[in-house]
Chains A and B, each alone.
Chain A
Amino acid sequence: MSRVVRAGALSVRWEPRAAAVGVGLLAVGLAAAVFVVGTGDFPISAPEVVRALVGQGDQATTFIVTELRLPRAAVGLLAGLALGISGAIFQSMSRNPLGSPDLIGFTTGASTGALLQILVFGGGTLAIAAGSVAGAVGTAAAVYALSYRGGGVSGHRLVLIGVGAAAMLEAANSYLITRAELREAYEAAFWLTGSLNNRGWEHAAPLGWALAVLVPLALAYGRRLTMGELGDDAAQALGVPVQRSRAVLVAVGVGLTAVSATAVGPVPFVALVAPQLARRLTRRTGPHLMSAGLMGAALLSVGDLISLKLPVAVPVGVVTGALGGLYLVWLLAATGRKGTT
């Protein structure tokens, strides 16, 4: 149930349950981040991490925390936020819980762009980043153009064509790797898994700036996204500029996918799972971008912590992949039982 706060002609609606879930997820994400920062060859206890973060720690600890390890935790939180929001946008627009950017080719396209830079052009970090952004944007443009029929894009077409595009790009990625030198192939395979290792402020800062623009834009269009779920005609008759908001939302969603892929590689399943889990926890109908984003941040942060605590070193993408696979099995089983989605 939602509550309303009114003052004169102004009124703001909020949902205590969604707010509580949001605060809880934020707390989980931040707590996991603190433990991530504390983990490493030189372990630091959680209170010490916090003390260093608020400027009360000794010099050596503060250096390790803020310069060496904090960027990694920040990238995890921010990329998770981006993945959760972009997943919620595309699932809502395609009216399909499988319509997330990692299954409909956008993330795979980002990988193709990055691989081309790593393996063919031999580009550096910046070129790889540019390649992955170009790959995501190019794939999104192609999938959209191919799904466009009679003045609009239908959800089913988008998912089917996107899944096809993902399969083709996947094949292209494998081919690129088979053609590579051993050392390059290793670097590429590592990139493809999705990892938070060796992330510095040079990764975290651009990601933060990009999100400072993209996230408010996404939230500003959240209400229009919700209205769009009534179908184009009903939404338009209620005064929603359907085509224009869809164009903005696609651009923002692709942007979020691209910057997160650039920062952490194609970490699987977070964009797919986060909106669904958030929706179940908040018990809301319709997309709720903020709780999906916070769920994404918590998932990626916790996933990273798990990957650090496992006896064998695995990148975070392996952890989210395993957890996401379990979720998919559960989703299909639940769907099969009910007969509908």
Chain B
Amino acid sequence: MNRLVARDLTLAYEQRVVAEGLGVEVPDGSFTVIVGPNGCGKSTLLRALARLLKPREGAVFLDGEPILGQPAKQVARRVGLLPQQPVTPDGITVADLVARGRYPYQRLLRQWSREDERAVAAAMEAVGVTELADRVVDELSGGQRQRVWLALVLAQETPIMLLDEPTTFLDIAHQIEVLDLCSRLHEEGRTLVAVLHDLNHACRYATHLIAMRGGEIVAQGRPSDIVTAELVERVFGLPCRIIDCPETGTPLVVPADRRKALTAGML
């Protein structure tokens, strides 16, 4: 059995039910990418997987045990989450922010161990923000800030990392940079689950792709096995062609040019 599994989830905010009977299994050692239209419940699913949202029905299991029954700090040593909209405290420096990722390991009289020091230095090194250590996070560029937040999650040293839209608001070069970094983390042995908006990036990096719509999983599997024009049409309502990416050989989604049809219709 895989380490992180969800069974028969009903996820809801007060009156609004987002998903019913949702089952997900995150393959150990995979780079799982979740795609789907806005509001289909991707963030909600990640929040449930990270123990942030209590399912109305069903349960999430971590290492075979219901995640809600396990102590918060112990879960936080195994599952990390980069939220979609993290809040950066005013005036905080890069090193201070990354250091907060060590909270699950700290206690009243174990405030800053050598382990903490090493993990924070390694995390900043891995995302290339060591030189920025004393800079104020508010004053960094969007790409730098995103890397700092990734370093915080890395410093948490969890075998499973959940990343909610880690590339949103970044320019294309920074998107690829962050995704290459994720890919490297995956190759080093971590299990990654990321929500991405760009289907082509999803196909390029995912070893396991989950396509969601309206709180349900429409398809999952290796991108080259499941991504077809019909699937994209069904999930996003977008007519398209699928070709092989000349660079990686993974599926490449080319939206159909509907402008001709539209103009023809208008005439």
Contacts and interface: CB of A to CB of B under 8 A. Distances in A.
A154 to B, nearest CB: 11
Contact of B13 (A11, A151, A286): A151
B121 to A, nearest CB: 14
Contact of A238 (B87, B88, B101, B110): B101
B83 A11 contact: no
A103 B47 CA distance: 35
Interface in A1-18: 2, 4, 6, 9-13
B75 interface: yes
A227 B112 CA distance: 15
B184 interface: no
A231 interface: yes
Given A234-B83, A238-B100, A238-B104, A229 B89 contact: yes
Interface in A148-190: 150-151
B156 interface: yes
Nearest to B109: A10
Contacts of B75: 239
Interface string A196-221: 00000000000000000000000000
Contacts of A239: 72-77, 103-104
A230 B91 CA distance: 12
Contacts of A341: 90
Contact of A286 (B51, B73, B87, B89): B89
B140 interface: no
Interface in A223-265: 223, 226-227, 229-231, 233-234, 236-241
Contacts of A150: 13-14
A331 to B, nearest CB: 14
A233 B52 contact: yes
Contacts of B114: 6
Interface in A123-151: 150-151
Given A285-B89, A286-B89, A237 B113 contact: no
Contact of A285 (B50, B76, B87, B91): B91
B133 to A, nearest CB: 11
A236 B87 CA distance: 13
Contacts of B90: 285, 341
A238 B110 CA distance: 16
Contacts of B80: 237
Contacts of B87: 95, 229-231, 234
Contact of A13 (B47, B103, B112, B152): B112
B111 interface: yes
Nearest to A231: B87
A237 B109 contact: no
B92 interface: yes
A148 B175 CA distance: 36
A11 B80 CA distance: 24
B93 interface: yes
Interface of A: 2, 4, 6, 9-13, 95, 150-151, 223, 226-227, 229-231, 233-234, 236-241, 285-286, 341
